[in-house]
C-alpha cells in the first residue's frame, strides 16, 4: 500500500503511519511528568487495550472515563475531569491523551485548555468523524442544555495520531456519520476525490481516503483559523443539516446522527446551489443519488418548516439575523456567504421531502 505522509499543521503533526508507535515516541520525547488517558465506556473497552499494548502501562498513567454520548459533553462532566486531574495530582507538565470520538476530543481539549490555564493534550481519534473532522482544526467545546458547542476555545493539540485499526469496532452507522464529512470535503474542494469516494466501498473507508479528507480539512483551517473566510466552506450542508439534526434530537426516539443530518442538509443545499450559484441539474441529481443511496430516507414532511427556520435563525454563525449558506458553483468548488431567505430554504427542504 501507498505510504501515508504525516500531515503538518501549524504547530503540530497528524500521524498516519505507525501512529501508536509515534505516540510512544512522542511520550518518550515529551518530558511530561504524568499522563492521563480520557475515554468513554466504549473506547475504554474497545480502544484502550490496543493503546496500552503499544505504550506499555507505566505507573505515571491514570485513566479518566466518562459515559458514552453527547450528554457527557457538558460542564458537569468537565468539572468531573478537572476534579479527577486534581485528585490524581496533575501538574502543568501533565499530558492529556484524548482517546475517543468527537465528544472526547471536544470535552478533553476544553478541559485541558483551561486546567491550570492550559496543559498539553493530544488526540487519538477513534471514530471516523473525529479522524476526518473533530480532531483537526483546534476547536474545543462543551454544550449547555441542548445548545451545542456554546462554550469553548480555539486550542491546538500537540499532535494527532490516526490509527485505522480503531475503526474495526465502530458500528456501521457511526462510520456513515463520518463518511458524510468526507463526501462534503470532495464536494467543496476536490471533484476527483468525490469521484473516488463515489466508487469506493464506504462501509470500510481506505486509509488513503481518510488521509485525503484530513489533508483537505487541515489545509482549509490553516488558511483561515478563525473562520473569517474559506473555513466557512466546511459549513456546506450544515445550515439546513444542523436544523434537521436539532429537530430530530428533540422529536425522534432514535434520532439522526450528525452525518445523517448533514447528508440531508447537503441534498437540500445542493438544490439551493442549483437555484442560486450555478450547480448544474446533472450535478444536483448526481449528488442526490449518491447520498440517497448511502443514507436512509428521513421523513422531513412531518417537520414543521417554521420550526426548522427558527433553528436556522438561531445559528451562531449568522450575522444580523440573516441565514447564511455555503453553496457550490459546481462539484469541487464551494461558494461562501450566500444569504438565503426563509422561502428559499423551505424550497430546499421540500426538494428533499418530496424526493
Ligand atoms: P462520539 O464521540 O459520541 O462517538 C460516537 C459513538 O461511538 C460513542 O458511543 C462512542 O463511545 C463510540 N465509539 C467511539 N470510538 C469507538 C470505537 N473505535 N469502537 C466502538 N465504538 C466507538 O461522537 P462522534 O460522532 O465521534 O463526534 C461527535 C461530536 O464531535 C459532537 O459533539 C460534535 O459537536 C463534535 N465535533 C467537533 C468538531 C470540532 O471541530 N471540534 C467537528 C465535528 C464534530
Ligand atoms: Zn459536521
Chain segment 161-172, per-residue pLDDT in tens = 999 999 999 999
* C-alpha to C-alpha distance for 124 and 210, rounded to whole angstroms: 14
- Outline where DSSP puts E strands in 204-251: none
Averaged confidence pLDDT in the chain: 95
**Homologous superfamily of domain range 173-353:** Dehydroquinate synthase-like - alpha domain (1.20.1090.10)
Mutate to test the pocket of ligand 1, among 67, 99, 101 (most ligand atoms within 8 A of CB): 101
* C-alpha to C-alpha distance for 215 and 131, rounded to whole angstroms: 11
Domain boundaries, the chain: 7-169, 173-353
Which residues is 153 bridged to in the sheet?
140
| pLDDT > 90? residue 319 | no
Q: What is the mean pLDDT of residues 201-205?
A: 94
Mutate to test the pocket of ligand 1, among 42, 132, 249 (most ligand atoms within 8 A of CB): 42
Cα(259) to centroid of ligand 2, in Å? 7
Cα(37) to centroid of ligand 2, in Å? 25
Model's pTM, two decimal places? Answer: 0.96
Q: What is the pLDDT of residue 315?
A: 80
Ligand nearest to the CA of 239: 2
* C-alpha to C-alpha distance for 257 and 236, rounded to whole angstroms: 17
- What confidence category does residue 2 fall into, taking pLDDT thresholds of 50, 70 and 90? low
The residue written with cell numbers 427556520 in the block is 309
In tens, the pLDDT along 241-274 reads 999 999 998 999 999 999 999 999 999 999 999 9
DSSP string, 259-294: HHHHHHHHHHHHHHHHHHT---HHHHHHHHHHHHHH
Sign of the Cα torsion 213, 214, 219, 222 reads positive
Q: What is the pLDDT of residue 158?
A: 97
- What confidence category does residue 226 fall into, taking pLDDT thresholds of 50, 70 and 90? confident
- Helix pair 238-251, 342-353: axis angle to 10 deg: 70
In tens, the pLDDT along 129-152 reads 999 999 999 999 999 987 788 999
% of the chain exceeding 70 in pLDDT: 99
In tens, the pLDDT along 96-122 reads 999 999 999 999 999 999 999 999 999
Rg of the Cα atoms in the chain = 20
Cα(181) to centroid of ligand 2, in Å? 6
The residue written with cell numbers 480555539 in the block is 154
| pLDDT > 70? residue 229 | yes
* C-alpha to C-alpha distance for 21 and 152, rounded to whole angstroms: 31
Ligand nearest to the CA of 51: 1
| pLDDT > 60? residue 1 | no
The interface predicted TM-score of the complex, written ipTM, equals: 0.99
| pLDDT > 60? residue 38 | yes
Return the CATH number of the domain spanning residue range 7-169.
3.40.50.1970
Cα(126) to centroid of ligand 1, in Å? 8
Run of H or E residues at 210: helix 207-223
Mutate to test the pocket of ligand 1, among 107, 121, 127 (most ligand atoms within 8 A of CB): 127
- What confidence category does residue 3 fall into, taking pLDDT thresholds of 50, 70 and 90? low
* C-alpha to C-alpha distance for 291 and 10, rounded to whole angstroms: 33
- Outline where DSSP puts E strands in the chain: 7-8, 13-15, 34-40, 61-66, 94-100, 120-125, 139-144, 147-154, 159-161, 324-330, 333-339
| pLDDT > 90? residue 316 | no
Q: What is the pLDDT of residue 26?
A: 95
Cα(103) to centroid of ligand 1, in Å? 5
Q: What is the mean pLDDT of residues 315-330?
A: 88
Q: What is the mean pLDDT of residues 187-197?
A: 98
Amino acid at each position: 500500500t501507498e505510504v501515508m505522509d504525516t500531515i503538518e499543521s501549524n504547530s503540530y503533526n497528524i500521524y498516519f503511519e505507525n501512529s501508536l508507535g509515534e505516540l510512544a515516541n512522542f511520550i518518550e520525547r515529551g518530558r511530561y511528568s504524568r499522563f492521563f488517558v480520557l475515554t468513554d465506556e466504549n473506547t475504554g473497552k474497545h480502544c484502550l487495550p490496543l493503546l496500552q499494548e503499544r505504550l506499555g502501562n507505566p505507573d505515571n498513567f491514570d485513566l479518566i472515563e466518562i459515559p458514552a454520548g453527547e450528554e457527557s459533553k457538558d460542564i458537569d462532566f468537565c468539572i468531573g475531569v478537572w476534579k479527577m486531574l486534581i485528585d490524581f495530582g496533575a501538574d502543568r507538565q501533565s499530558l492529556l491523551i484524548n482517546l475517543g470520538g468527537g465528544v472526547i476530543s471536544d470535552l478533553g481539549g476544553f478541559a485541558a485548555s483551561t486546567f491550570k490555564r492550559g496543559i498539553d493534550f493530544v488526540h487519538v481519534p477513534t471514530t471516523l468523524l473525529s479522524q476526518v473532522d473533530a480532531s483537526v482544526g483546534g476547536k474545543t467545546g462543551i454544550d449547555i442544555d441542548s445548545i451545542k458547542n456554546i462554550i469553548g476555545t480555539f486550542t491546538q493539540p500537540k499532535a494527532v495520531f490516526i490509527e485505522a485499526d480503531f475503526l474495526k469496532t465502530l458500528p456501521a452507522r457511526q462510520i456513515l456519520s463520518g463518511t458524510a464529512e468526507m463526501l462534503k470535503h470532495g464536494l467543496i474542494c476536490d471533484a476527483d476525490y468525490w469521484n473516488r469516494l463515489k466508487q469506493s466501498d464506504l462501509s470500510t473507508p481506505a486509509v488513503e481516503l481518510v488521509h485525503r479528507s484530513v489533508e483537505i480539512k487541515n489545509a482549509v483551517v490553516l488558511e483561515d483559523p478563525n473562520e473569517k473566510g474559506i473555513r466557512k466552506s466546511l459549513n456546506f450542508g450544515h445550515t439546513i443539516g444542523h436544523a434537521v439534526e436539532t429537530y430530530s434530537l428533540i422529536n425522534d426516539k432514535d434520532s439522526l446522527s450528525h452525518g445523517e443530518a448533514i447528508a440531508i442538509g447537503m441534498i437540500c443545499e445542493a438544490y439551493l446551489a442549483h437555484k442560486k450559484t450555478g450547480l448544474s441539474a446533472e450535478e444536483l441529481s448526481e449528488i442526490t443519488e449518491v447520498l440517497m443511496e448511502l443514507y436512509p430516507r428521513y421523513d422531513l414532511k412531518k417537520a414543521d418548516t417554521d420550526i426548522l427556520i427558527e433553528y436556522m435563525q438561531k445559528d451562531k454563525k449568522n450575522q444580523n439575523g440573516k441565514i447564511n449558506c455555503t453553496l457550490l458553483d459546481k462539484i469541487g468548488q464551494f461558494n461562501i456567504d450566500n444569504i438565503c431567505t426563509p422561502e428559499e430554504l423551505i424550497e430546499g427542504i421540500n426538494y428533499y421531502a418530496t424526493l
